[in-house]
Each structure stands twice: as C-alpha cells, then as structure tokens.
Structure 1
Amino acid sequence: MTAPHVPDGWRKSSFSGGQTNCVEVARLGEGVAVRDTKNRGQGYFATDAAQWSAFVDAVKAGRFGRR
C-alpha cells in the first residue's frame, strides 16, 4: 500500500496581495492541487501536470473572458 500524496507548499499569485478571495496551488505528487483561500478546510481538487499547464496557457492567452 502506498501513502496518499499530500499537497506541498501552498502558494497564491503575488498579484493577490493580501486578499483572501483567491485560489492557491500546491504540488501533489506528479500533479497540482487547487483550493479556495476562503474555504481552505473544504479540501481541494487535483489535476495532472499536463492539464494544469494547458489551463495556465489558456489563461495567459486570454481564452477566458471577464464578464
């Protein structure tokens, strides 16, 4: 039996400043964990590194419009 992965080194964007309405990311084995800073105790969702990279690239490219 292998031990479950635990998110390591939670961090949020430096653009967030002292705000608490952000998301945090952490390494999770070979992937990434993401959680809401307002509800840290509610858990996180996990994705693999390739999916996370594709998401970040899409954000940088402006594929998600603000409303």
Structure 2
Amino acid sequence: MDVLNLWSDDPEEVLLDLGFGCDEPDISGRIPARFINNQSSARGINIQVFLDAQKNRMDIENPDVSSK
C-alpha cells in the first residue's frame, strides 16, 4: 500500500496553514512617517531609492499583486 495514498489533506492547504505562501507584511508601512516625509541629513540615505527597490521587489515576486 502506498503511504501517499493514505494522506487525504491537500498539500497546498497544509503549507498555507503552516504559514507558507502568505503575503509578506508591507515593510514600508512600519516606517514612521517622519522618516519618509523628511529628507535625511545622512550621506547616501535616500528613502525614494528604498521605496523604489521595495516596489521593484514586489513586482518581481508578486506580479499579480502589484498590478491591482
């Protein structure tokens, strides 16, 4: 008897229940507004570069989510 045939749960459902495949929280939402609204006085720090990189990352990882 094949052991895999005894398994009745959907593997995709099991992985989702374990926390795999869920949406990642939007990190930019956790950044205080004062850091986004004001220019940094530190050299090399540019919030727009960070936000653009996050958007590009979302476009690559979840193309269907970013197009909504």
**Same-fold call, TM cutoff 0.5:** no
TM-score calculated relative to the size of structure 2: 0.26
Larger fraction in strand: 1
- Bigger CA radius of gyration: 2
Using CA pairs under 8 Å that are at least 6 residues apart, name the structure with larger relative contact order, 1 or 2: 1
Larger fraction in helix: 2
